[in-house]
Amino acid sequence: MVLLFCMVSKSVVAIARPVISGGRDPCSVSDFKVLCRSVVKGQKNVNAATEVSIRELMKRTTKAKEVAASGQKSGGGLKTCYSNYDSAIGNLQKALKDLKKNDGFSLNINLSASLTEFDTCNDAMGGAKASNVFARSTKTLHEMADNCLALSTLVKQ
Ligand SMILES: *[C@@H]1O[C@H](CO)[C@@H](O)[C@H](O)[C@H]1NC(C)=O
């Protein structure tokens, strides 16, 4: 009986959500708003905006991982980035599952984990002072992960 009630109330929440979260620009909470808006493209629904941001980050990380793979034999930053991108993709996959389940708590943990992976890669590439193309792309990935985390705080539990 209790279980049935939970299931019913959950579906009511799911139906009501798009109405509640509509209207505002979700990217207003992000640190890198221009980048956020270029990915979210006007999507007002918070869950949809978070999902599209995570998917775009996964796509770009997969590409960056290929670049890192070709250079990782030279060691240094690229080797770190290769393995960190791999972990980051795993964490983002988990985050997508968490989002589908409206599990905001786990979503936050798994997105934070991916942000740390990008952070470490960024540092390994010389951080902000690095000027090569790969280092710049890893900086962008880090900013996108930061945006995903910001958007995820709007996801209703
Ligand atoms: C996300 O991370 C948390 C903490 O490690 C974990 O409990 C949760 O199951 C993860 N989500 C998925 C879908 O694995």
Query: Alpha-carbon distance 16 to 89, whole Å?
Result: 31
Please work out whether the CB of residue 48 comes within 6 Å of at least one atom of ligand 1: no
The count of other CB atoms within 10 Å of the CB of residue 28 is 11
- From first to last of its 157 residues, the chain has per-residue pLDDT tens of 445 444 444 444 444 444 444 468 999 999 999 999 999 999 999 999 999 999 999 999 999 999 999 887 777 788 999 999 999 999 999 999 999 999 999 999 999 999 999 999 988 888 655 567 888 899 999 999 999 999 999 998 7
Per-residue pLDDT at 66: 94
153 burial class (0-12, 13-18, 19+ CB within 10 angstroms)?
middle
Pocket test for ligand 1, best of 103, 106, 149 (most atoms within 8 A of CB): 106
> Which domains, ranges and CATH numbers included, belong to the chain?
44-157 (1.20.140.40)
SS3 102: coil
Question: pTM of the entire structure?
Answer: 0.83
